């Protein structure tokens, strides 16, 4: 196996693992009164000869249950790769994937990369055009199809996205000690009821 491919796979799996860990952390956060920051935030880490930065937004119900988590991952160094991962609760129809629409425009399909008992993660390779649309946009909607064949559109504001994307990463100490958001605020912004998931 090619060394570059191994490094790319390791960076991708590391990002996937970190996103899963962040989601698991947010699920138990309500008991500990700590969770991921509200809205868009950026974290960076050094892995081998690569810098891996991810811009994230994690929406949870007031119970701590995942509604939707987004990570835009930028790997620079030996490997250069930009991709998006979107996580939704499990019990989704796999073939349709997740549809992403920015400001009601044409949708982009994200295919599921992996499903676990508590969540499914879909991925999309990012282009400069998609990044530009996210920076200019006001809202992005991620629609997955649940096991009852009902669409579950989740709206996520793009307010603050450009500043976070172009700005510095959050210090790890601030991420670990972030206070919990107001109960239910993230869920209520996305849609009416977490039970619809």
Does residue 13 surpass a pLDDT of 80? no
Number of continuous H segments (helices) and E segments (strands) in the chain: 5, 9
Contact 14, 52 (CB under 8 A): yes
Please report, in angstroms and rounded to a whole number, the separation of the first and last CA atoms in the chain. 40
For the entire predicted model, the pTM comes to: 0.75
Question: In whole angstroms, what separates CA 42 from the centre of its chain?
Answer: 11
What span, in angstroms and rounded, lies between the C-alpha atoms of 165 and 25?
23
Does residue 17 surpass a pLDDT of 90? no
- Average of per-residue pLDDT across 39-67: 93
pLDDT digits (tens, 9 = 90+) for 116-150: 999 999 999 999 999 999 999 999 999 999 999 99
Cα torsion angle, 35, 37, 39, 43, sign: negative
Cα Rg of the chain, angstroms: 16
DSSP state of 146: B
Does residue 170 surpass a pLDDT of 60? yes
């Amino acid at each position: 196996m090619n060394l570059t491919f191994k490094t790319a796979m390791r960076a991708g799996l590391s990002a996937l693992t970190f996103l899963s860990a962040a989601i698991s952390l947010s699920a138990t956060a309500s008991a500990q009164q700590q969770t991921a920051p509200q809205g868009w935030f950026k974290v960076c880490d050094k892995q081998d000869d690569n810098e891996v930065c991810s811009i994230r937004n994690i929406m949870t119900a007031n119970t701590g249950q995942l509604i939707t988590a987004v990570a835009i991952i930028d790997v620079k160094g030996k490997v250069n790769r930009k991709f998006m991962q979107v996580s939704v609760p499990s019990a989704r129809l796999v073939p349709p994937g997740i549809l992403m629409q920015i400001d009601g425009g044409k949708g982009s399909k994200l295919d599921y990369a992996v499903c676990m008992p508590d969540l499914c993660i879909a991925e999309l390779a990012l282009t400069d055009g998609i990044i530009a649309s996210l920076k200019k946009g006001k809202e992005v909607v991620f629609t997955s199809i649940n096991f009852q064949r009902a669409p579950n559109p989740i709206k996520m504001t793009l307010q603050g996205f450009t500043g976070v994307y172009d700005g510095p990463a959050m210090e790890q100490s601030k991420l670990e000690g972030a206070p919990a958001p107001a109960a239910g605020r993230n869920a209520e912004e996305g849609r009416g009821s977490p039970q619809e998931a």
